[in-house]
Amino acid sequence: MTIAVLNQKGGVGKTTTTINLAAALAASGESVRVLDADSQQQAVAFEVPGVEVLCVEGKAALKKAVDKSKADWTLIDCPPSLLEAAPAIPLADLVIAPVPPRFQDLSGFAKLRQTVDAARERGNSHLRLRVLVTMRDVRVVLQGEYEAQLRAAFGDEVLSTVIPRAAVFEKAASAHQAAQQYAPSSAGAAAYRALAEEIRKLR
Ligand SMILES: Nc1ncnc2c1ncn2[C@@H]1O[C@H](COP(=O)(O)OP(=O)(O)O)[C@@H](O)[C@H]1O
Ligand SMILES: [Mg+2]
């Protein structure tokens, strides 16, 4: 299964989701390959057991890398631009859009959805889109309202797993690790394990 982790905004948790989902999927022994399609090359900085991270530059290289990948799971960490990320969409079976429940991050999702719908109509008929609520701070009441709005608007397209706002992700990243390696018993690591289970059911 090929998963594109995509949102045109930066700082929403794309790389964190790519790496932590990859780590959680690899933990059960399945092969996982991460393609870092962002020119900022944040994903290649991670060293996760069982996960091969490769840098890919340009549309042709990305297609070749996806076609060549024999891994059970191929995850694409996309650049923060719909235009630049567009080549990943026709290659994917699933687009995961990390969306923090903040006002400034909710806008723009409609455009992403249109882009995915267009790719589906252009022939990638089995392409699915799922929203992942990331960086959820339970202390912020307004975030609950935004999450409820997302669920009301997009229903089953919003994954039930919610990724909490937690310091463990930044700490783990500074050690070039997934939360799964850095602090396996943390709530953050548990959330990505739950996400992996939910994604497995979509396969
Ligand atoms: N759930 C989270 N809670 C707290 N911090 C997070 C969370 N997810 C990501 N971060 C941090 O936020 C920053 C941006 O995340 P990142 O995954 O790099 O976003 P993107 O790839 O979309 O630009 C990083 O410093 C990362 O460690
Ligand atoms: Mg990134």
Mutate-to-test residue for ligand 1 from 8, 16, 77, 112, highest number of ligand atoms within 8 A of CB: 16
User: pLDDT tens digit string along 61-108?
Assistant: 999 999 999 999 999 999 999 999 999 999 999 999 999 999 888 888
Which residues surround ligand 1 with Cβ inside 6 Å? 10-16, 42, 80, 134-135, 163, 165-166, 169-170, 173
- At 129, give phi and psi (nearest 5°): -120, 130
**Residue 136: pLDDT band with limits 50, 70, 90:** very high
User: pLDDT tens digit string along 48-59?
Assistant: 999 999 999 999
3-state SS, one letter per residue, for the chain: CEEEECCCCCCCCHHHHHHHHHHHHHCCCCCEEEEECCCCCCHHHCCCCCEEEEECCCHHHHHHHHHHCCCCEEEEECCCCHHHHHHHHHHCCEEEEEECCCHHHHCCHHHHHHHHHHHHHCCCCCCEEEEEEEEECCCCHHHHHHHHHHHHHHHHHEEEEEEECCCHHHHHHHCCCCHHHHCCCCHHHHHHHHHHHHHHCCC
Q: What is residue 95's predicted lDDT score, i.e. its pLDDT?
A: 98
Specify the pTM. Answer: 0.98
Angstrom distance (rounded) from CA 196 to CA 28:
10
Residues that place a CB less than 5 A from ion ligand 2: 14-15, 42
Q: Residue 200: what residue type? A: R
Mutate-to-test residue for ligand 1 from 82, 99, 169, 192, highest number of ligand atoms within 8 A of CB: 169
> What is the per-residue burial (b if ≥16 Cβ within 10 Å, else e) of 66-92?
beebebebbbbbbbbebeebbbbbbbb
